[in-house]
Structure 1
Amino acid sequence: MTLILVGLLLWAAVHFIPSLAPDLKTSLKNRLGEGGYMGLFSLALVAALVLMVFGWRSVEQPTHYYTLPLWTRDAGMGLILVAMILFMASKPPTRIRRIIRHPQLTGLIVWALAHLMMNGDNRSVLLFSGLAVWGALEILLINRREGEWVKPEAPSWGKEIVVVLIGCVAYAIFAFAHPWLAGVAVF
């Protein structure tokens, strides 16, 4: 559990630097250059992910806090599909981005909440609630830092459909790779 917590804290700390410590970001960029800063940033995020994954897998006898009704599993899987589509809609201009300012972070929060619907053990509660809280805080900090939201132009419906299809393909890939990524079969 300690590894999960350290991974979450490292993940949050690295992401919060631009909003909470902009002078540190500037100092690191001046010292390391743009590429060096991005490399260090990426390395810290990979380390955080590794800590979270190994921390989650290292809990041999998880304690179960709750078990939700069986139908929540299907609802959770549907929410994960929504999360994948939101995640894929974060960079290209989409109608989704005209409705949701931060589709990637919103997708992460939906993903985390879906996992909390399906997993009531201590390691899952720590990991997924931690990521959901981080995502919500990150949205608030980015909004404060960036100010007023300028909505992007709406793309053609064809581009919108492509984003949704890519989200569906990503969902299928992660669902089938889940046993190797997380050690838990989805189907």
Structure 2
Amino acid sequence: MRIVLSSVQLRAGAFSFAADDFFSEGVHMISGRIGSGKSTLGSALAGLSEIESGKIILEGCGSPILLMQFPEYQVTGPTVVREISSWGVPRGDPTFSSLDVEISDRDPFTLSRGELKRLMLACVFSKDPDVLILDEPYASLDISAKEVLTGMIENRRGITIVFSHETEYAPNHAVWWKIESGGLHRE
């Protein structure tokens, strides 16, 4: 199972980004300055945005799931219960209790940012995709939830790509990457 970036070029206005490498099974932590292209790369890896040139090749894995930096961008259900149902996962999945998600008929937009982030994290982890892309997953979480999330990331199978500034919570066995000078570099 691999994701190959073959001479990938991304461009948006004056912004330009290049990558020619691969992600294998395991956890990959990607850091970089604000505006360096982390979210843009995550979106391209998930197949949600076009690349200017090159290819992103999924070898031996299904379609990636992306959890965006701002969870409210992905809400589709009018209640927490219907949001969970929209992901096609059982609300009794233990991931919801691990992340302290209250399953209710509340409107997801009435949840705090941290509650909404935990809900969306529980949904994507319950799907257990081959490839999981997390854009700033630690944002809006308290320390306890950050530690739980790190454990969940460590215990996942497949490829997990985490774009984050909060590197102090990174799993110990992660492969480290940095986006700088318009490119992706393995550290």
Higher relative contact order (CA 8 A, sep 6+): 2
TM-score (norm 1): 0.27
| Bigger helix share | 1
Higher strand share: 2
Q: TM-score, normalised by structure 2?
A: 0.27
Based on CA coordinates, which of the two structures has the bigger radius of gyration?
A: 1
